[in-house]
C-alpha cells in the first residue's frame, strides 16, 4: 500500500482527484512522466509527427 503524506502531515489512502503542484521534489517526477507520455527521451527536442496514408 502506498502512503501519501501531505506537507501539513495529513495522511491519505488515495490522492485521486487532487492536484499535486510540480515544485521541489515533484517537479522532476512530473517532467519524467511528461517525457514518457510524449514518447521522447529527456533532453531531446520534441519532433513533429506526421502520419502517412
Joined together, the cell numbers standing for residue 41 give 527521451
pLDDT of 19-49, one tens digit each?
877 788 788 888 888 888 888 766 665 555 5
For the chain, the straight-line distance linking the first and the last C-alpha, in angstroms and rounded, comes to 46
E strands within the chain? Answer: 4-5, 11-12
Question: What's the predicted TM-score (pTM) here?
Answer: 0.40
**C-alpha dist (Å) from residue 2 to 12, 14, 49:** 9, 8, 37
Cβ neighbour number for residue 7 with a 10 Å cutoff:
7
pLDDT of 1-25, one tens digit each?
778 888 899 999 988 888 877 788 7
Amino acid at each position: 500500500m502506498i502512503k501519501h503524506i501531505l506537507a501539513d502531515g495529513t495522511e491519505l489512502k488515495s490522492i485521486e482527484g487532487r492536484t499535486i503542484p510540480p515544485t521541489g521534489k515533484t517537479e522532476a517526477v512530473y517532467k519524467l512522466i511528461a517525457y514518457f507520455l510524449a514518447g521522447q527521451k529527456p533532453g531531446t527536442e520534441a519532433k513533429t509527427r506526421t502520419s502517412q496514408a
